[in-house]
Chain A
Amino acid sequence: MPKIKLSDNTINIIKDICAEFQNKESELINVLHKTQGKLGYLPAEVQEVIARELNSSVARVYGVVTFYSFFTMIPKGEFPISICMGTACYVRGAEQVLSEFKRQLKVEVGESTSDGKFSLNCLRCVGACGLAPVVTVGEKVYGRVAPTQVKEIIAEYREMNGAESKIA
């Protein structure tokens, strides 16, 4: 992966977050949550700053980042698409919906489209089992999705502009 040069501003954001949690190593997960919330993702360079600030090792920070599925080292697409793969959705056909998304977007799970517009992920149960199978795009929830609707859902976002990448 090419090295990212973090701007001073970004480094200061990270430092502030660490300071907010008294630079305590035991607050690592909270720090990561907040940092990802601000920056969108947690590349190696960001992890290095956090390790330094918390007086911890990069290995430890990396170990935690990669352990939890909520944390990501790759930027998500402007419109992150998630297919619920909870059991309720699975038995109501989520797998077919997922393969249709993969086919339409030409990406695998965990990847983003080359234009950075969409990223595709699976998640476990959003708790809307009554609407199974469920797909979320950003915050919006689509219920009872059939493979034939996939094209429409993508088209809805194709022309829209999402948030700009947050890492300078």
Chain B
Amino acid sequence: MTDYRMHILICGGTGCKASDSNGIKEKLNYFINEFNLEDEVQVVLTGCFGFCEKGPIVKVLPDNTFYTEVKPSDAEDIVKEHILKGRPVKRLLYKNPKNDYAVTSANNIDFYKKQIRIALRNCGFINPENIEEYIGRDGYAALGKCLTENTPEEVIKEIKDSGLRGRGGGGFPTGLKWEITRNVVNDQKYVVCNADEGDPGAFMDRSILEGDPHSVIEAMAICGYCIGADTGLVYIRAEYPLAIERLKIAIGQAEEFGLLGNDILGTGFNFKIELRYGAGAFVCGEETALIHSMEGLRGEPTVKPPFPSVSGYMGKPTNVNNVETFANIPVIINKGANWFNKIGTEKSKGTKVFALAGKINNVGLIEVPMGTTLREVIYDIGGGIKDGKEFKSVQTGGPSGGCLTKKFLDTPIDYDNLIAAGSMMGSGGMIVMDEDDCMVSIARFYLEFTLEESCGKCNPCRIGNKRLHEILCRITEGKGTIEDIDRLKVLSEVIKDTSLCGLGQSSPNPVLSTIANFEHEYLAHVNEGKCPAGQCKSLMKYEIIEDLCTGCTLCFRNCPVGAITGERRVAHFIDQSLCIKCGVCMDKCKFNAIKLN
């Protein structure tokens, strides 16, 4: 990156692309050509910057100016003012929400201050479609080091010493997994990268594959060297077309550079990588189900043992790791286990990527050291709750996890603490909820997901979750009884104890954790027929307070179903039989004349 005087980096992640980052690139290039700057300034579409809330993001190097919510029409000003005259475009700078001051450099933004980026080290810095940029940031140095200086045993020892645990959710020690697969004797073994990110609200694996595909390829080759495999398979969701495309480009380039294929770096080591596509089944994140899916079968899990390390893809020993786990490997090799294991807590080393979403000011992708507290994540990095509302709960671990309350805000996040608190790390989805979210509805929402995704092979999961869902529906419709709450608890325990795979064993977690932490909400539904959060539609009614209604017609004009009648300057009326309870009238009313019963 030395030839150009300046670089303009545009976020090409899915969120920003949806907000037309391609259009911004086109316009920037247009004006750069117009002013004959093409030899001085380079425009690069990178992977995700993480700060999705304020997207599309544009960053200008070397001064590290950070522009937010950029539109294609802003391109002219960026080129004319910033590139030509060296004056940052003030109106596009990020403003600190606390004091409204514009922040010029990305380093001074609260969102980034507490983050340490290991797995995301290159996301937002390099052009993911150019292998030379990856190599320029120590890319493939780790592979070279392993192949030329270390025996597989030494590399495995390094990974074991680093304390790295699987980032897909289970938290199994990665080095140990590699060692087990290495020790199985077989002429054919496989390395599998699990990129079937199915947890709704989690998009870290996708961002890594879109922003830094080579780090995963390099790590898979290292793994192949360690366990004695010559073939790697990436099992990736077909719903991730951009990640697939970038991965294909990256594999092609690595082959061209002799970093994949036969006799890599002249060491006699052969390794190739192929893609296998998922087709939308959450259960395929489970390793045995994933392997069946790769074999062209229904993605149904099987009982372990045998573990994939012994008998996996096509009956051969197979090492399955998640995308984020792989992305950590090259850094551990380059910087050493002792550098890595100083980060984090006693039993959880390194960092974890979280997809922070929901009712939070800074939605985005973050990477923090293990042991960071939820409070730091939600308030310092996440910027607190949206619209100044009250924090209620944070859901981690997706459909397998649980909801944590205020009392856990100061708990350091790591694998073991989250399990002790009744949730789990999962793949790293973190959904923040505020006072308006009904926890019974949230539990029902997750059960709906499980119902759809249960493969149907074992009874507890197929039938048990169906019953759980029915009971939850009853409660949210105001037809539940106090006995239903006990039924939920008993049934949940049975499903946990008797299901075949991780999906069923963890599916009642959202129910159990919401009952444990928010039993009063369940009780309000069944005893008083009330939804404290005002979210359960069957239990509520929007009404106009006649004395306060000025007849401004705003609600009348905004009602999507025409349920409101009334004339100007006369109190309006809501027809309950037409009302879909969307709440638009209440949001729009300037006189607080609409109440919720």
Is B one of A's binding partners? yes
How distant is A147 from chain B, measured CB to nearest CB, in Å? 5
CA–CA, A160 and B564, complex, Å: 32
Q: Does A13 contact B (CB under 8 A)?
A: no
CA–CA, A63 and B446, complex, Å: 25
When the two chains form their complex, are residues B560 and A125 in contact, meaning their CB atoms are under 8 A apart? no
Most buried by B among A86, A91, A103, A147: A91
Q: Does B590 contact A (CB under 8 A)?
A: no
Name B392-429 residues within 8 Å CB distance of A: 395, 398, 429
Stretch from B134-142, B356-364, B565-573 that touches the partner: B356-364
When the two chains form their complex, are residues A33 and B363 in contact, meaning their CB atoms are under 8 A apart? no
Q: Which chain A residue lies CB-closest to B360?
A: A88
Residue numbers in A under 8 Å from B395 (CB-CB): 87
When the two chains form their complex, are residues A131 and B280 in contact, meaning their CB atoms are under 8 A apart? no
When the two chains form their complex, are residues B580 and A129 in contact, meaning their CB atoms are under 8 A apart? no
Q: Does B502 contact A (CB under 8 A)?
A: no
CA–CA, A90 and B281, complex, Å: 19
Stretch from B12-20, B74-82, B87-95 that touches the partner: B12-20
How distant is A145 from chain B, measured CB to nearest CB, in Å? 12
- Tell me which of A33, A68, A100, A130 contacts B582 (CB under 8 A): A100
Name A45-97 residues within 8 Å CB distance of B: 63-64, 67-71, 85-88, 90-92, 96
Residue numbers in B under 8 Å from A6 (CB-CB): none
When the two chains form their complex, are residues A132 and B455 in contact, meaning their CB atoms are under 8 A apart? no
When the two chains form their complex, are residues B52 and A130 in contact, meaning their CB atoms are under 8 A apart? yes
Name B283-306 residues within 8 Å CB distance of A: 293, 295-299
When the two chains form their complex, are residues A128 and B18 in contact, meaning their CB atoms are under 8 A apart? yes
When the two chains form their complex, are residues B279 and A141 in contact, meaning their CB atoms are under 8 A apart? no
Most buried by A among B198, B200, B202, B445: B200
Q: Does B449 contact A (CB under 8 A)?
A: yes
CA–CA, A30 and B296, complex, Å: 8
CA–CA, A151 and B276, complex, Å: 39
When the two chains form their complex, are residues A87 and B200 in contact, meaning their CB atoms are under 8 A apart? yes
When the two chains form their complex, are residues B281 and A148 in contact, meaning their CB atoms are under 8 A apart? no
Query: Could you count the A-B residue pairs with CB atoms below 8 Å apart for me: how many are there?
Result: 141
Name B186-209 residues within 8 Å CB distance of A: 198-203, 206-207
Most buried by B among A32, A67, A92, A132: A67
When the two chains form their complex, are residues B18 and A125 in contact, meaning their CB atoms are under 8 A apart? no
Q: Does A138 contact B (CB under 8 A)?
A: no
CA–CA, A130 and B68, complex, Å: 13
Residue numbers in B under 8 Å from A103 (CB-CB): 560-561, 580
How distant is A139 from chain B, measured CB to nearest CB, in Å? 9
Most buried by A among B206, B280, B583: B280
Q: Does A124 contact B (CB under 8 A)?
A: yes
When the two chains form their complex, are residues A69 and B15 in contact, meaning their CB atoms are under 8 A apart? no
- Total interface residues on A, CB under 8 Å, equals 44
Residue numbers in B under 8 Å from A85 (CB-CB): 200
Most buried by A among B199, B240, B560: B560
Residue numbers in B under 8 Å from A32 (CB-CB): 279
When the two chains form their complex, are residues B293 and A129 in contact, meaning their CB atoms are under 8 A apart? no
When the two chains form their complex, are residues A92 and B359 in contact, meaning their CB atoms are under 8 A apart? yes
Q: Does B238 contact A (CB under 8 A)?
A: yes
Given A92-B359, A141-B18, A125–B202 Cβ distance below 8 Å? yes
When the two chains form their complex, are residues B15 and A128 in contact, meaning their CB atoms are under 8 A apart? yes
B interface footprint on A14-29 (CB within 8 Å = 1, 0 otherwise)? 0000000000011111
CA–CA, A71 and B239, complex, Å: 12
Name B25-67 residues within 8 Å CB distance of A: 52-53, 55
Q: Does A116 contact B (CB under 8 A)?
A: no
Q: Does B431 contact A (CB under 8 A)?
A: yes
Q: Does A150 contact B (CB under 8 A)?
A: yes
Q: Which chain B residue lies CB-closest to A21?
A: B296
- Tell me which of A69, A88, A131, A132 contacts B19 (CB under 8 A): A131
Q: Does B151 contact A (CB under 8 A)?
A: no
How distant is B534 from chain A, measured CB to nearest CB, in Å? 13
When the two chains form their complex, are residues B582 and A92 in contact, meaning their CB atoms are under 8 A apart? no
When the two chains form their complex, are residues A126 and B14 in contact, meaning their CB atoms are under 8 A apart? yes
Q: Does A162 contact B (CB under 8 A)?
A: no
When the two chains form their complex, are residues A92 and B15 in contact, meaning their CB atoms are under 8 A apart? no
- Tell me which of A28, A129, A134 contacts B355 (CB under 8 A): A129
CA–CA, A91 and B446, complex, Å: 12
Q: Does A99 contact B (CB under 8 A)?
A: yes
Q: Does A11 contact B (CB under 8 A)?
A: no
Residue numbers in A under 8 Å from B207 (CB-CB): 127
How distant is A10 from chain B, measured CB to nearest CB, in Å? 22
CA–CA, A66 and B15, complex, Å: 30
Q: Does B518 contact A (CB under 8 A)?
A: no
Q: Does B511 contact A (CB under 8 A)?
A: no
CA–CA, A28 and B298, complex, Å: 10
When the two chains form their complex, are residues B357 and A26 in contact, meaning their CB atoms are under 8 A apart? no
Given A33-B277, A71-B279, A143-B18, A100–B363 Cβ distance below 8 Å? no
How distant is B429 from chain A, measured CB to nearest CB, in Å? 7
Given A123-B239, A124-B449, A87–B431 Cβ distance below 8 Å? yes
- Tell me which of A29, A69, A147 contacts B296 (CB under 8 A): A29
Q: Which chain B residue lies CB-closest to A30?
A: B277
Q: Which chain B residue lies CB-closest to A56?
A: B296
Given A29-B277, A87-B358, A147–B200 Cβ distance below 8 Å? no
When the two chains form their complex, are residues A68 and B358 in contact, meaning their CB atoms are under 8 A apart? no
Residue numbers in A under 8 Å from B455 (CB-CB): 67
Given A99-B580, A127-B15, A87–B357 Cβ distance below 8 Å? yes
Residue numbers in A under 8 Å from B199 (CB-CB): 125
Q: What 9 A-B pairs come out closest when comparing CB atoms?
A: A130-B52, A68-B279, A127-B203, A88-B357, A86-B200, A141-B18, A69-B280, A87-B201, A129-B357
Instruction: Known pairs A29-B276, A29-B279, A131-B55; list 7 more (Cβ under 8 Å).
Output: A68-B278, A125-B199, A127-B14, A127-B240, A143-B15, A148-B558, A148-B560
What are 11 A-B pairs with beta-carbon distances under 8 A?
A32-B279, A33-B279, A88-B357, A91-B358, A125-B199, A127-B203, A127-B207, A130-B55, A143-B19, A147-B560, A147-B582
Chain A positions within 8 Å of B, measured between CB atoms, are 25-30, 32-33, 63-64, 67-71, 85-88, 90-92, 96, 99-100, 103, 123-132, 134, 141, 143, 146-148, 150-151
